[in-house]
């Protein structure tokens, strides 16, 4: 069944890639003709949708730092997968172990915040430092043998996005979009007024846990192209850009997705053309968009 799904996905990717090549190659945009760039663009487009979609709720709940926390936990998960493959010859996908560890870390953050007197950022700081510490210890246990493999997850890469990675990322993105679509009203209620949400019958604890688990999905989905170090930026920067332009929450979500997609497309194009790091280029373009939005707001503001 898995082989059938992968074959169908490959066929669809080949068809879309061929169509894009025929459309854009005559215009001098030949990067869409290469299979590895097609996979990278698919990955980027998915990240450009799900990251600001979930990030919109996180930023307005003042949970922007949880993306960084789960990114460091995902680093530990990648290290676990590579360690199992290197030390005990257990063939486990680092993406799978990263997803498992990131989800557990997301639930742990909420558990610490709910069951102790610690502030929310304290629980995030504990999990962030613990995740990165675990990752570095596992790297050292192999005498640095997995350090080379882990670099692609730390900094991201266009050329390492395989068909399987693109498929997993697409499926994760569909799950995230579907869950947000289904529970949009609950997320919205909890984001702006937890007390009113409770009165209305919304399970605030369960909804918050679901939101942070979705964040773990986004982080793992994006780390292949963005890198663990920079993945959290796509949860925050496009949302900050949209906050300067959107007139309502729903409009801000749409604007943030557009801003993220522009950053991805322009960033991937610049990365390919000039040999730059993909994740860093995308984030710098996104920050440039934020600066442009700020400038536009001040320029059009009434005195």
Higher pLDDT, 19 or 54: 54
Q: Phi, psi at residue 130, to the nearest 5°?
A: -65, -40
- Percent share of the chain, pLDDT over 90: 40
Whether 109 and 205 have beta carbons less than 8 Å apart is answered as: no
Note the pTM of the prediction, 2 decimals: 0.89
pLDDT average, residue stretch 145-162: 70
Task: Provide the domain count of the chain.
Answer: 1
CA distance 124 to 107: 11
Other CB atoms within a 10 A radius of the CB of residue 112 amount to 16
CA 46 → CA 4, 40, 142, 270, distances in Å?
Answer: 22, 10, 34, 19
In a domain, 18, yes or no: no
In a domain, 8, yes or no: no
In a domain, 46, yes or no: yes
pLDDT at residue 118, as a whole number? 66
In a domain, 12, yes or no: no
pLDDT average, residue stretch 160-177: 85
Which region among 14-23, 27-36, 139-148, 172-181 has the lowest average model confidence (pLDDT)? 139-148
Please check the confidence at residue 148 and state whether its pLDDT lies above 60.
Answer: no
The residue range of the domain holding 78 is 34-231
CA distance 246 to 6: 39
CATH number at 168 reads 1.10.3470.10
In a domain, 92, yes or no: yes
In a domain, 64, yes or no: yes
Chain-wide mean pLDDT for the chain? 86
In a domain, 169, yes or no: yes
Tell me, rounded to whole angstroms, the distance of Cα 211 from its chain centroid. 13
In a domain, 291, yes or no: no
Kindly tell me the burial class for residue 300, based on how many C-beta atoms sit within 10 Å of its own C-beta (0-12, 13-18, 19 or more).
exposed
Whether 255 and 246 have beta carbons less than 8 Å apart is answered as: yes
Please check the confidence at residue 236 and state whether its pLDDT lies above 80.
Answer: yes
CA distance 50 to 235: 9
Q: Please state the length of the chain.
A: 303
**Model confidence over 55-82: pLDDT tens digits?**
999 998 888 889 999 999 999 998 888 8
For 50, which DSSP code?
A: H
pLDDT average, residue stretch 141-162: 70
């Amino acid at each position: 069944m898995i082989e059938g799904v992968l074959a169908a996905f490959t066929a669809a990717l080949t068809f879309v890639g061929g169509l894009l090549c025929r459309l854009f190659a005559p215009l001098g945009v030949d990067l869409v003709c290469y299979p590895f760039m097609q996979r990278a663009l698919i990955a980027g487009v998915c990240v450009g949708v799900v990251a600001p979609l979930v990030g919109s709720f996180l930023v307005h709940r003042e949970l922007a730092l949880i993306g960084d926390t789960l990114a460091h936990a995902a680093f530990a998960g990648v290290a676990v997968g590579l360690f199992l493959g290197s030390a005990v010859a257990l063939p486990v996908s680092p993406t799978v172990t990263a997803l498992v560890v990131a989800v557990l870390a997301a639930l742990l953050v909420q558990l610490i915040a709910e069951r102790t007197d610690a502030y929310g950022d304290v629980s995030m700081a504990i999990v962030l430092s613990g995740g990165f510490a675990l990752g570095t210890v596992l790297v050292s246990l192999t005498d640095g043998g997995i350090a080379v493999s882990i670099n692609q997850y730390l900094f991201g890469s266009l050329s390492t996005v395989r068909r399987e990675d693109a498929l997993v990322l697409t499926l994760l993105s569909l799950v995230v979009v579907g869950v947000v679509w289904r529970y949009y009203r609950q997320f919205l209620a909890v984001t702006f007024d937890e007390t009113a949400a409770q009165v209305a019958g919304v399970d605030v604890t369960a909804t918050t846990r679901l939101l942070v688990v979705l964040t773990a999905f986004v982080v793992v989905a994006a780390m292949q192209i963005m890198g663990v170090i920079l993945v959290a930026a796509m949860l925050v920067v496009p949302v900050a850009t949209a906050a300067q332009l959107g007139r309502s929450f729903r409009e801000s979500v749409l604007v943030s997705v557009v801003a993220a997609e522009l950053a991805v497309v322009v960033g991937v194009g610049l990365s390919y053309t000039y040999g730059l790091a993909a994740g860093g280029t995308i984030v710098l373009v996104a920050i440039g968009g934020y600066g442009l939005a700020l400038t536009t707001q001040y320029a059009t503001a009434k005195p």
